Amino acid sequence: MIVPKITFRSSYNAPNPKEVDYWIDLKENPYGAIIKYYDGIRWVNIAAANSFNPLDYFNKREVSELISTSISNSEATITADLEALEDKVKELQNNWENINDTIDNRILDFFVKKFKPITDE
């Protein structure tokens, strides 16, 4: 079984990431409590690596696309909500017109019955 060689370097200045796997940052902590690894862009504290920030793993184009997609999805949701709201308003307007017609008919019926013309029969 081949065991991979893992290299550490302790120093006050960042080492060449091609030469070491882990850097013990003595500038940040002279007792060696800060261990960092190179993520391809910068040296990252191993302890901080447990806190996930997705924006650290995307380039500007990808972030722009994620934001654009999110905005598009939000706009689609808002549009659908607005259409549903407009439909509800139309339904309420129709109900109101029906209620008005019913009230008008009942008022008319009341007056017709109350003030029914007297006829000789």
Dihedral angle at the C-alpha atoms of 39, 44, 46, 51, nearest 10 degrees?
A: -90
Token output for 16:
């060449």
> Best-predicted range by mean pLDDT among 36-40, 51-55, 76-80, 114-118?
36-40
Q: Is pLDDT larger for residue 44 or for residue 110?
A: 44
- What is the value of pTM for the model shown? 0.40
Q: Please say whether the dihedral angle defined by the alpha carbons of residues 86, 89, 95 and 97, taken in this order, is positive or negative.
A: negative
Alpha-carbon distance of 112 to 107, in angstroms, equals: 9
pLDDT given at position 53? 61
Q: Is the pLDDT of residue 121 over 60?
A: no
Q: What is the pLDDT of residues 12-70, one digit of tens each?
A: 999 999 999 999 999 988 888 899 999 999 999 888 655 666 656 667 777 778 788 88
With contact defined as beta carbons under 8 Å apart, do 34 and 45 qualify? Answer: yes
Strand partners, 38: 43
Q: What DSSP letter does each residue of the chain carry, written as one string? A: -PPPP--EEEESSPPPTTT-SEEEETTT-TTS--EEEE-SSSEEEHHHHTS--GGGGS-HHHHHHHHHHHHHHHHHHHHHHHHHHHHHHHHHHHHHHHHHHHHHHHHHHHHHHHTPPP---
pLDDT given at position 52? 60
